[in-house]
Amino acid sequence: MPAAPRRSLLFAFAGLAVLPACGLVPSAALAQRGTVPDFADLAEQVLPAVVNIAVLSEQTTTQIPPELRGTPFERYFRERRGRQQVQGAGSGFVIDPAGYVVTNNHVVGNAARVVVSLQDGTELPARVVGTDELTDLALLRVEPRGALAAVPWGNSGSVRVGQWVLAAGNPFGLGGTVTSGIVSARGREIGAGPFDDFIQTDAAINPGNSGGPLFNAVGEVIGINTAIYSPSGASAGIGFATPSDLARGVIEQLRRDGRVERGWLGVAVQDVGEEATPGGRNRGVQIQSVERGSPAARAGLRQGDIVTALNGERVETSRALIRGVAGTPPGQTIRVTLQREGRQREMAVQVGRRPGGAG
């Protein structure tokens, strides 16, 4: 899918300086095919674990006009620059009764202060355990007086287009809001980063919903609401959620280490069609170049090799290859199946640590 125009792709985060944003038993109504679903039981089940997030950050109040830089007027503007406190709002959800909260990185990434509000109105100061810009995820920690309500992760890999979902969060600062819809598509690439693999939904997502959960019919989190496609800035029925299968591994690393380490091969790749493989039986990813001294070079991978599988799982796109390698812990060995000069080969590659910005 072509990337959505940048001007219309918005993070569902409400900046208030600009905008005045468990049990596992499905409800009987959801289980009855052919009837209009009733989400009341599901909403009652999951809402206690959904939180509002208020952030306080600082921004420069006066920018120096580009045409005045290097002129005597630059000093005038520079002396009058200051810092202004800006409030924002987002959403999150509790994954551990001890007080671990998941949200988006763009909600808390530049925050000087973060406050988490529970559904009963309790406000708790939060500390940022860790963030990951590449997947736009963050993990917070609060210190509750008792155990918090929490929701479990679901399996986003089993999500089907057309199934019912429920989005919950804090749109426009209106906490405790739920909306329903269906999964409109899977595997969407929207130009947000190298690990794009979004679930698309028509459940209403608005500014302030960022970081909130997308639930399946049994109250499991299958996605984290992240962005919307909208010319107006409000919901147009096209929202995007980071799949839980990707988010869960990132969050586990943030909880354990406070940061995310990713695997790296050191190759530049591009997609190839079936016509590029012997007999046209497979799609794959062709290696365009191999970085000298990289894990791929040490293992003997070459320019022109067509990678068709990692650890026995088919690889048909460059993004799938990047995600597969990145999700492998550095130091671990993976089996790379490839086509070279018309013959299939399998090679063992010890994955390296992904440097900043590397592919």
CB 163 within 8 A of CB 217: yes
Question: What is the per-residue DSSP string for 266-292?
Answer: -EEEEEE-GGGSGGG---EEEEEEE-T
3-class secondary-structure state, position 306: strand
- Location of structure tokens 């050191």: 266
pLDDT for position 15: 45
Q: Which domains does the chain have, with CATH numbers?
A: 1-17+43-260 (2.40.10.120), 263-353 (2.30.42.10)
Distance CA 92, CA 85 (A): 22
pLDDT for position 18: 28
CB 141 within 8 A of CB 99: yes
Tokens linked to 304? 């022109």
**Active site (catalytic) residues:** 106, 136, 210
Does the model's pTM come out above 0.75?
Answer: yes
Give the lowest-confidence range in 85-89, 209-213, 247-251, 258-262. Answer: 85-89
Distance CA 102, CA 51 (A): 10
Q: How does DSSP classify residue 7?
A: G
Largest CA distance in the chain: 74
Give the lowest-confidence range in 74-78, 227-231, 263-267, 293-297. Answer: 74-78
| Mean pLDDT along residues 152-171 | 96
Question: What is the per-residue DSSP string for 63-132?
Answer: PPPGGGTTSTHHHHHHHT--EEEEEEEEEEEEEETTTEEEEEHHHHTT-SEEEEE-TTS-EEEEEEEEEE
Residue 282 above 90 pLDDT?
no
Q: Which helix (H) or strand (E) holds 345?
A: strand 343-350
pLDDT for position 37: 81
Mean pLDDT, the chain, integer: 84
| Mean pLDDT along residues 137-158 | 97
Distance CA 333, CA 349 (A): 5
Higher pLDDT residue, 249 or 277? 249
- For residue range 183-201, what is the model confidence (pLDDT) as tens digits? 999 988 887 777 888 999 9
Strand partners, 172: none
Residue 34 above 60 pLDDT?
no
pLDDT for position 5: 42
